[in-house]
Amino acid sequence: MITVAEQLVRRLREQGIRYVFGVPGGSWLPYMEAMRKEGLEFVLVGNEASAGFMAGVCYRLTGVPGLCYGTTGPGATNLSTGVVCALLDRSSILALSGEPSEKMIGRTVQMAIDQQALFRPLTKWTTRLAAERVDQQLNQALRMALAEVPGPVHIGLPDGLGERAGQESPAALPPIKASPIPVADEGLLSEMESIFERAKKPILALGLSAVRAKAGPLILEVAERHRIPIVLTPMAKGLVPEDHPWYAGVLFHALSDRVAETHGQADLVVAVGYDPVEFNFEDWMPVVPLLHLDTVPADIDRSEYREVFDIIGNIIISMERLAGLPPLDSAWDLAALAGRRAAMFRLLEPPIGSFGPRAALAILREILPDDGIMACDVGAHTHLIGQMWRTPAPGLQLMTNGGSSMGFGVPAALAAKLCMPERKVACVTGDGGFLMMAGEMALARRKKLAIVFVVLADESLELIRLKQEKRGFEPFGTRLHVEACPSAAYVFGVPVIEAKDADQYRSALKRAFAADGPAIVEARIDSSEYAELIQRKHR
């Protein structure tokens, strides 16, 4: 006879799950013992929010749902930040939490809150595990987490359940995969072709769902065949090379007004897997017809945009229909597009002798191998990364632009190194984001994870300060220190290398990447250049 804890852990391992991220509580101990026996690794984090972030990144990099845990009450509420990020970044995860036993539901209990109520609006589904239904509930949870649109599922573990007798099943639970997406209705596909063929200046707008569909090669085929510019959301980076002739730039981030010089001319938008969780259509799109190729209908104001055509179904097959059409009589000027792209990238080049965020990112891009992974936090630097960071393939630049939670960068890099130990991994964070997750340096050191954490130290929440400035407000409440903060030699045992200019920074990065464990590069940058680059004129 096996226990519920042993049955659950065995089933999770059969699904290909390798790591569980969290902070243990008393009722979690039987599950940890089962993990020890079954070879499922429990990764102790400094804050449960990190556990949710790391689970989401594991899904992004492996396609296998991530797994995280928070104990009853405060552990669950901390975990909820990472769960929200998984919901809005479209990451399939299982979030487990301790809960009071059945007989104590509704009673006054230390640490206890209604966690089913907490997680219901934050997840695709929430349930309490029952001893007689472990396999059934886990099967349902995995299927729901992986189904379009992917996201988190919460399973409450009642106190004492782990030690109860489970059900020994004769066979392993086969790995659960996302269900095949059906082909769009033939009538819709024919209408799509007719609308597309009438356009003179269509553009392709790419988003998160196109990444999941692995649509990159087909997108390039359509763009080249029909001579169509491509714009994309920040989390779709890597689908199209930045030097591709039909690449026009990233929406929403730095110099997006320059990108608007292209998409503002469009007479048709072909949205391929475009998820407005990153950037609403109305905030950038001209009032023209929309072909929306996705697994769910377009979320758009249809009182303003009257010609919206939802081509709901398998994105690849819908794109194959466009690829099979005769070449359009495109009116786009390829030379003009190239000129706009080149002018935009020139503005993103660091001025000679400067040491601001542009120089910090450019030098890191030189040193990090093409197949290296860079995770970034949320802040002013994210807007530069979205536009200027060269991303050779999806998954090589990790950001949160749906949940957009500060604190994401450090745990994202940790998860990337655990999932892809052979890759070089870097994290770029502001000092505000690093302040939130500095405790995770203990995890990096304990696991000897060779990650380079680049802290862009400007001692301010610079993005918020810029927003205050743009609205004519005085800077208020954004300074992290009242006076210059001295550099530390170590943070939880991880060495810190300080850099005050570009030469020191380049040397510091080389030393850090040569280390056999984690290292922090504290780049004391001049943040003044953000103001001229982060603009918001989209339409």
The percent helix, strand, coil of the chain (3-state, each to 5) is 40, 15, 40
Binned at pLDDT 50, 70 and 90, residue 539 comes out as low
Tell me where in the chain the CATH 3.40.50.970 domain(s) lie: 4-163, 348-533
Beta bridge partners of 313: none
Strands 494-499 and 490-491, by their bridges, are antiparallel
Q: Which of 340, 379, 344, 357 is nearest to 480 (CA)?
A: 379
CB 167 within 8 A of CB 135: yes
Q: DSSP of 350-416, one letter per residue?
A: PPTT--SHHHHHHHHHHHS-TT-EEEE-SSHHHHHHHHH---SSTTSEE--SSS--TT-HHHHHHHH
Residues 39-79 have pLDDT tens digits of 999 999 999 999 999 999 999 999 999 999 999 999 999 99
Give residues with Cβ within 8 angstroms of 439, minimum separation 6. Answer: 46, 47, 492
Annotation: CATH topology of 348-533: Rossmann fold (3.40.50)
Residues 83-137 have pLDDT tens digits of 999 999 999 999 999 998 888 788 778 778 899 999 999 999 999 999 999 999 9
CB 431 within 8 A of CB 455: yes
For the domain covering 4-163, report its CATH number.
3.40.50.970
Six token digits for residue 223: 């763009």
Burial 459-470 (b: 16+ CB within 10 A, else e): bbbbbbbbebee
Six token digits for residue 141: 């949870």
Name the residue with higher pLDDT: 172 or 516. Answer: 516
Predicted pLDDT of residue 352: 95
Predicted pLDDT of residue 319: 98
Binned at pLDDT 50, 70 and 90, residue 535 comes out as low
Q: How many residues does the chain have?
A: 539
Q: Is the dihedral of CA 268, 274, 279, 280 positive or negative?
A: positive
Beta bridge partners of 496: 520
CB 317 within 8 A of CB 219: no
Range with the poorest average pLDDT among 202-211, 223-232, 427-436, 486-495: 486-495
How far from 203 is each of 17, 132, 258, 296, 509, CA to CA, in Å?
A: 39, 53, 15, 20, 39
Torsion region of 300: left, alpha or beta (phi above 0 gives left; psi -120 to 50 gives alpha) = beta
| pLDDT at 21 exceeding the cut of 60 | yes
Torsion region of 116: left, alpha or beta (phi above 0 gives left; psi -120 to 50 gives alpha) = alpha
Predicted pLDDT of residue 503: 97
Predicted pLDDT of residue 460: 66
Model pTM score: 0.94
Range with the poorest average pLDDT among 45-59, 387-401, 416-430, 461-475: 461-475
Annotation: CATH topology of 186-342: Rossmann fold (3.40.50)
Q: How far apart are the first and last CA of the chain?
A: 64
